[in-house]
């Protein structure tokens, strides 16, 4: 399961209720910050999630509304917070701009308070944990060297404790060996194979996050059958020509991608102040019914085989 915490959902400039783009993705003990618009550090504090283990940042592209918050975040780390390492992943073009911002403006010759590593990525898997991976893929957006990210849990065969109990397999290392695919020998000499205590293969949860995008044809494959797709909806179809000019999507085009890619649910973000939320939702739902419009501090749980859940909004600490 992946958990999403939206820290900023506005396009280009903040509004009264929406900050600039930033999303926290959680998976067990891992936490990732996707984009870091101006004011993100305050949003982190207001959401109550703190800075602990928030040491990996994924950047979709180098436009200022997606990276300016890195300066304040690093400044905060220099004064009050202690983390072992800060890793920032992005395209070479985005990292060049981030390097100028952090080393030329914030640090100005000073030593970072922790190892600060800018890690260039392009197309392919760039992060792998025991049970999930993150893959980058190219996105077309107004000349920017842009990326999207696919988070994929590894598939597994679930352990069936009732079968192990019936076979007399004791708790402890023997059960772990079966989960790892090893055949074991019980104290009475019986051989127990993994097939005797494991269920059918089940794929893991897939989550895709796209920042700004001007085209959808090249996104169908990397978004295919994701359990949830997060993507921009900066314009409505009535201003489709302006959307094309600035390399953005309308809510309808985002929904068309969701339908073509056969995703489970669509979460729209990067919203212009010129539109009402209900109009964005109405336009998208005409094409793809299972749509959510993200608000700052919304928290979603994404899990394979289950409906997408908006579990709370951390602006007020209550249910969403």
Closest CA to 86 of 28, 148, 36: 36
Q: Give the max Cα distance, the chain.
A: 75
Any catalytic annotation for residue 296?
A: no
- Kindly name the residue from 28, 35, 65, 188 that is annotated as catalytic: 65
- Numbered residues of the known binding site for Zn(2+): 61, 63, 65-66, 141, 212, 270
Q: For every residue of the chain, which 3-state class applies, written as one string?
A: CEEEEEEECECCCCCCCCCCCEEEEEECCEEEEECCCCCHHHHHHHHCCCCCCCCEEECCCCCHHHHCHHHHHHHHHHHCCCCCCEEEEECHHHHHHHHHHHHHHHHCCCCCCCCEEEEECCCEEEEECCCEEEEEEEEEECCEEEEEEEEEECCECCECHHHHHHHCCCCCHHHHHHHCCCCEECCCCCEECHHHCECCCECCCEEEEECCCCCCHHHHHHHCCCCEEEEECCECHHHHHHHHHHCCCEHHHHHHHHHHCCCCCEEEECECCCCCHHHHHHHHHCCCCCEEECCCCEEEEECCCCCCEEEEECCCCECC
User: Which residues participate in catalysis according to the annotation?
Assistant: 65
């Amino acid at each position: 399961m992946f958990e999403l915490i939206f820290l900023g959902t506005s396009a280009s400039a903040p509004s009264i209720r929406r900050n600039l783009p930033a999303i926290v993705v959680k998976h067990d003990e891992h936490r990732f910050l996707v984009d870091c618009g101006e004011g993100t550090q305050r949003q982190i504090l207001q959401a109550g999630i703190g800075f602990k283990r928030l040491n990996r940042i994924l950047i979709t592209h180098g436009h200022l509304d997606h990276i300016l918050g890195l300066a304040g975040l690093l400044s905060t780390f220099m004064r009050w917070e202690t983390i072992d390492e800060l890793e920032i992943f992005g395209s070479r073009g985005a990292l060049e701009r981030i390097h100028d911002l952090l080393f030329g403006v914030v640090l100005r010759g000073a030593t970072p308070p922790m190892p600060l590593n800018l890690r260039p990525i392009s197309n392919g898997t760039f992060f792998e944990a025991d049970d999930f991976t993150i893959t980058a893929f190219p996105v077309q957006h107004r000349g920017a060297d842009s990326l999207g990210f696919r988070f994929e849990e590894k598939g597994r065969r679930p352990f069936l404790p009732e079968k192990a109990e019936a076979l007399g397999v004791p708790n402890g290392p023997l059960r772990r060996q079966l989960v790892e695919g090893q055949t074991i020998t019980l104290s009475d000499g019986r051989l127990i194979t993994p097939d005797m205590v494991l269920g059918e293969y089940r794929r893991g949860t897939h989550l895709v996050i796209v920042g700004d995008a001007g085209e959808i044809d090249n996104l169908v494959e990397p978004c295919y059958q994701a359990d949830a797709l997060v993507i921009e909806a900066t314009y409505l179809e009535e201003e489709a020509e302006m959307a094309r000019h600035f390399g953005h999507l309308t809510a309808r085009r985002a929904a068309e991608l969701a339908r073509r890619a056969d995703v489970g649910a669509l979460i729209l973000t990067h919203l212009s102040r010129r539109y009402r939320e209900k109009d964005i939702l109405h336009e998208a739902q005409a094409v793809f019914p299972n749509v959510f419009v993200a608000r700052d501090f919304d928290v979603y749980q994404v899990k394979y085989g289950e409906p997408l859940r908006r579990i709370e909004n951390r602006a007020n600490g209550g249910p969403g």
